[in-house]
Amino acid sequence: MKAFSPVRSVRKNGLSEHNLGISRSKTPVDDPMSLLYNMNDCYSKLKELVPSIPQNKKVSKMEILQHVIDYILDLQIALDSHPSIVSLH
């Protein structure tokens, strides 16, 4: 079962790219090595942010993505079943 959620601006929730530790690259896009390092940084940040990913164990990028997907679905279910949200429907 997949949960669908409207796309929301991150800034509306009081969060910013700075708070999440996400940075925009100022290097040219045509530099493949800088893109690779940026992607690796993003995977590292995801590994830090998702509580179900073991921090002391090496996990593949595919495993990180699966944990992220599962975490997002769990958050969506928790949000959908929250009493204040349920009472609005």
Query: What are the structural domains of the chain?
Result: 34-82 (4.10.280.10)
pLDDT band at 48 (very low <50, low <70, confident <90, very high): very high
Cα–Cα distance for residue pair 64/83, rounded to 1 Å: 31
Residue (of 3, 55, 47) closest to 21 by Cα position: 47
pLDDT tops 90 at residue 37: no
Q: For residues 38-77, b (16+ Cβ closer than 10 Å) or e, as one string?
A: eeeeeeeebbeeeeebeeeeeeeeeebeebbeebeeeeee
Can you give the pLDDT at residue 9? 38
pTM: 0.59
Cα–Cα distance for residue pair 19/1, rounded to 1 Å: 31
Across 1-5, 10-14, 21-25, 37-41, the highest mean pLDDT is recorded for 37-41
**pLDDT more than 90, % of the chain:** 47
pLDDT tops 80 at residue 64: yes
Cα–Cα distance for residue pair 78/21, rounded to 1 Å: 25
